[in-house]
Amino acid sequence: LQWLSPPEAIEHFKSQEIRLAPPQFYELCRLCNFSSLQELHKFSSERALEGCERWMPVILSASDGYMQLLPGDELYPEDPDYTGEKKITLSTDKKVEDLMKGGSIFHRIVRKNNDLAVYVNIHAKYKHINPVMINSSNSDFNSRL
């Protein structure tokens, strides 16, 4: 067991020393907004009573990768399958790059080959904070957590 700061964990992921699922990568990118544990504590204490949003990532398979679409993304379905009973599968023959170029409202995690990237340009609900947009193949951040 080894403690890693969010930037260190992302670096270990980039060098394939550890594996991260997309939700953990997303949350590590969110933590990269904070330069210290005290700053994170202050944010979480102030935001605690604002509420939470229920999320159900929806996977969109592209010809060369996939995206996990999150609430607020322009491709996110109006009625996501929260229970798994509908077994909805979204797919396209388009490439990831074409989907990104053709879009304008993003809240998604994109996986292509072994790279993960977070793209967010929506306003987070309940005074939450968006993740730092990081591509696992080229990250630059200043968190000291």
- Cα 6 from Cα 10, distance rounded (Å): 6
Q: How confident is the model at residue 136 (pLDDT cuts 50, 70, 90)?
A: low
Q: Give Rg (Cα) of the chain.
A: 16
Q: Which pLDDT tens digit goes with each residue over 109-133?
A: 998 887 888 999 999 889 899 998 7
> Is residue 34 over pLDDT 50?
yes
> Is residue 15 over pLDDT 80?
yes
> Is residue 29 over pLDDT 70?
yes
**Residue 103: how many CA atoms within 13 Å on its side-chain side?**
22
What integer best gives the mean pLDDT of the chain?
Answer: 86
> Is residue 16 over pLDDT 70?
yes
> Is residue 3 over pLDDT 70?
yes
Q: Which pLDDT tens digit goes with each residue over 74-86?
A: 999 988 887 778 7
